[in-house]
Amino acid sequence: MSRVWNFSAGPAVLPEEVLRQAAGEMLDWHGSGMGVMEMSHRGKEFTAIAAQTEADLRELLAVPAHYRILFMQGGAIAENAIIPLNLIGDKRVADYVVTGSWSQKSQKEARKYAEVNIAASSEASGFTTVPAMAEWKLSPDPAYVFTCTNETIGGVEYPFEPDLAQLGRGEVPVVADMSSHILSRVIDVSKYGLIFGGAQKNIGPAGLTIVIVREDLLGRAMAHCPSAFDYRTVADNGSMYNTPPTYAIYVAGLVFQWLKRQGGVAAIEAQNIAKAKLLYDFLDRSDFYENRVDPACRSRMNVPFFLKDGALDEAFLAESKAAGLVQLKGHKSVGGMRASIYNAMPLAGVQALVDFMRDFAARKA
């Protein structure tokens, strides 16, 4: 067996230890005589797995007791509809901060359910920055303010936690799409009304969506919100109103235990800082490659970069693949390259990438 260095934006690399453990338990989980995929979601074995998974996530992110953790399906894109369906309540308007492709998509979807006010946008910069909170123009009475705190495609990450109390608007819940950086850095959950993300980057397999929602935001769903997407219903049924993505929850649980063994989120954040610094420092010192994001807002998880001579892109991709470095092609809307360096990518993988890039540049410059 030979594993590659996988820089996919998602689904993405998982810790090898987790994959080995899942493989070892595939046919017989803890002496139950069955694999997790075969278990009833209502049986005592799976109920225990789900409870442990939730408890570990709560511990890792220090989720306060008055927040509920929901295991849902449909991915972050479905949440773009599920959120307004649940949170508009008796308000008319929702505010959106647009910092790239994902928050752009989110605000477009929300328009089906509510009036949308674009409170701030970094479109004029080509989505290479995050507008400072002082520039956000909130509407008088929004149901919530939507943010995407790490834009996976543009490689733009908030350098601050959105805290509306600083604007004297602490009563307005902040919603954050954290799909591509959840668990990569320490956050203060109490600053948010709702945090959500698809699992397939830092958490586990695709098919699971995590929602962390403040309890007072439950029970506001529009009458036509599908029951399976009504946060109150999902919460009241312990995320088992319908059959949850059981195997994805189990693997997420293994990832959470792995993360705890690494020392938790603060410890992985220190590693993520070191990994990102290695790559960005190399890019900044190079006159062969470049990253175009405002240095203050560069993502630690997703690093888009360009070869200054775009004619070499195909050769870069072919040669990096031959060297065991895969999934480096940039998103089609941005072009160039992108290296996603999530929690499960070790420093050695980033070092291997930098070594390859240095060698490639020396040969082609």
Closest by CA position to 203, among listed 79, 328, 75: 75
Compute the least distance from the CB of residue 365 to ligand PLP, in Å.
Answer: 33
> Is 177 a residue of the active site?
yes
To the question of whether residue 102 is assigned a binding role by annotation, the answer is: yes
Beta bridge partners of 156: 151, 298
Using CB under 6 A as the criterion, which residues of the chain lie in contact with ligand PLP when the complex forms?
A: 10, 75-77, 102, 148, 152, 177, 179-180, 198
CB of 197 to ligand PLP, least distance (A): 7
The token duo for 265 is 């989120």
Whether 242 has a binding-site annotation, put simply, is yes
CA 124 vs CA 45, 127, 334, 338: distances in Å: 52, 7, 15, 22
- C-beta nearest to ligand PLP: residue: 75
Give the shortest CB-24-to-ligand PLP separation in angstroms.
28
- Sheet with strand 194-198: strands edge to edge: 67-72, 209-214, 194-198, 174-177, 145-148, 93-98, 115-121
29 in catalytic set: no
Question: Could you tell me the smallest distance in angstroms from the CB atom of residue 46 to ligand PLP?
Answer: 23
Q: What DSSP element (H or E) covers 94?
A: strand 93-98
The residue behind tokens 């979807």 is 109
125: helix, coil or strand?
Answer: helix
160 phi/psi in degrees, rounded to 5: -145, 160
Contact 103, 78 (CB under 8 A): no
Taken in order 68, 72, 75, 81, is the CA torsion positive or negative?
A: negative
Q: Could you tell me if 197 and 182 are in contact, meaning their C-beta atoms sit under 8 angstroms apart?
A: yes
- The smaller minimum CB distance to ligand PLP, of residues 10 and 162, is found at 10
How far, rounded to the nearest angstrom, does the alpha carbon of residue 212 sit from its chain's CA centroid? 13
Rounded distance, CA 190 to CA 187, Å? 9
Known binding residue 271? Answer is: no
First to last CA, the chain: 35
Residue 243 marked ligand-binding = yes
The residue from 102, 136, 258, 329 that is catalytic is 102
236 in active site:
no
Minimum distance from CB of 255 to ligand PLP (Å)? 16
Tallying the residues shown for the chain, one arrives at 365
In this structure, which amino acid lies at residue 102?
W
Distance from chain centroid for Cα 360: 31
Give the active site residue among 5, 29, 56, 177: 177
CA distance 174 to 298: 22
Cα–Cα distance measured from residue 292 to residue 336, given in angstroms and rounded to the nearest whole number: 11
Q: Please give the annotated binding residues for pyridoxal 5'-phosphate, written as ranges.
A: 102, 152, 177, 200, 242-243
What are the catalytic residues?
A: 102, 177, 201
Q: Please give the annotated binding residues for L-glutamate, written as ranges.
A: 42
